[in-house]
Each structure stands twice: as structure tokens, then as C-alpha cells.
Amino acid sequence: MSDDQLSQLLEQVRQGALSVEQAVEQYQEQVPQKTGALASASIDLDRSSRCGYPEVVYCEGKTSTSLVEIFTLLLEAKQRCLGTRISEAQAEVVLKQFPQAIYNQTARTIRIPEKDAAFDEELISGRIAVLTAGTSDRPVAEEAIETLIWMGYEPDFIVDVGVAGPHRLQEQLPRIQNVSAIVVAAGMEGALPSVVGGWVSCPVIAVPTSVGYGASLGGMAALLGMLNSCAANVTVVNINAGFKAGFIAGLIADQKQKTS
């Protein structure tokens, strides 16, 4: 409810056109519910107004029944849904309840559009690129991609351009030098984001992956290498955190769009 609407409501009470009880009822009807209380969760229904996008559901550790309840609540609040780290068994249950849902087995994500709304309509392209050093990094990169699609962006996806074959990245430079943000997923020594950062003028969001042999330490070697990057435009998210990288890239593109 806007300030003008609230003033008009109070003026009606002052003039006697509305009782206090009627005014309270009208106010409650127009103020959106901020929290959705369930037996298994407390859902932030106000996050979109504060942060730009609805709450995202981390599915790991939740029961399939809880996920259905959470997604139902979000859809009733007219919010489109994104679930990350969803298992095949969980996805099977959710898809039965919401046949319009889009499940990406590789990314372990599920997207559910608002009722009567198509998900991938009017996606904005040309603003964000997602790169992988190797094909083994693809699951993490696809989590970023699914997040960006949920945010309304269609990223340019470039696979397998790691530093062992430097010519591969050079061949793709025209595709990444005019975007607003780049997500780079890399395991092993994690060198690719620094190389990409030296070729572009936009933020590079590095995602260390747990791909690699023993001394990669489950992604720690890549994480430490990326944190120590000498490329000033490289920032780093957590190991395998494709969602976080995609979300940050989407926010950067949002801000660039506002100022352009």
C-alpha cells in the first residue's frame, strides 16, 4: 500500500466513512504477506521486494513432501520457484505435483513458473557469459545457467576452454568481450578465471569446482588459486557454488541495465 493510499484510508476513517475495523481489514488485504509459515519451514515471501528476486529453495536435506509444500506456497504467492541441489527422487515427486516444472538433472535444479506463465519467454541475451575450463565442470556451470534463466537471462554458454589449450579461449574472445559479467567454473589448479580476467573489462565471477586429483583437495587448490588471482576484476564464490555465481552475475547485469 502506497503512502497516498494509506492517507486516503485514514481520511475515510476520520470522516466516518469507514470504521476502524473496516480500515484494518482493507489494509490487511492490500499489504502482502511477508512470511509463509509451514510445519517444516518459514518462507520469506517478502524477499523479492527487498532483494529483487524470490527466495530460492535449497532442496538437499528436505523431504519431498516439504518441497511440495514450499513450492505450493511460493506459487500461491505468485512467485516463480527455483530449487537447487535437488535429487532425482525429490524431483520425481515434485514433477508429479507440478508437471510444468523444468528439471535439469545435470545441474540438480528445478524451476517452476508462476501459474499460467511460461518460464523462458522474453529472456535477455547478450549480457552474461558462462565458461567452463573442462567438461567435468559442467554441472556447476549449469547450476549458474539455470539460476540466470530463472532471473530472466539467457547466458552464452562456452564449454571446455581451459588453459591447457589456450587457443580455445582466444577463439571465443569475441563472445565474451562485450558482456556485463562472466561466470567461470574451473577445477584442478583453477587458472582459467585469471586468464579470462586479463582479456575483459567486466567482473569475472570465479567458481572453484571439486574436479581434480588428490592434491586438488576437493576444490581447495582452485579456491586458493582464484583468491590469489592477480587479475583485479576476478572475484570468487564458494566451491561448486554455481547458484551463487549465477545470482551475482544476474544482479550485475540488472544494475548495468538500469544505468544504460
Per-residue pLDDT band for 41 (boundaries 50, 70, 90) equals confident
**Which amino acid is present at 10?**
L
Q: Domain boundaries in the chain?
A: 35-112, 124-259
- Name which of 129, 111, 250 is nearest 192 in CA terms: 129
At residue 4, the 3 state secondary structure works out as helix
CATH number for the region 124-259 comes to 3.40.50.1970
Confidence (pLDDT) at 106: 98
- Annotate 61-79 with b (16+ C-beta within 10 A) or e (fewer): ebebebbbbbbbbbbebeb
At residue 201, the 3 state secondary structure works out as coil
Confidence (pLDDT) at 32: 59
Confidence (pLDDT) at 43: 81
What's the mean per-residue pLDDT of the chain?
91
Question: Is pLDDT above 80 for 222?
Answer: yes
**What would the pLDDT profile of 105-116 be if each residue is shown by its tens digit?**
999 999 998 765
Please give the average per-residue pLDDT across 74-93, as a whole number.
94
Q: Angle between the 3-15 and 20-30 helix axes, to the nearest 10 degrees?
A: 160
Per-residue pLDDT band for 26 (boundaries 50, 70, 90) equals confident
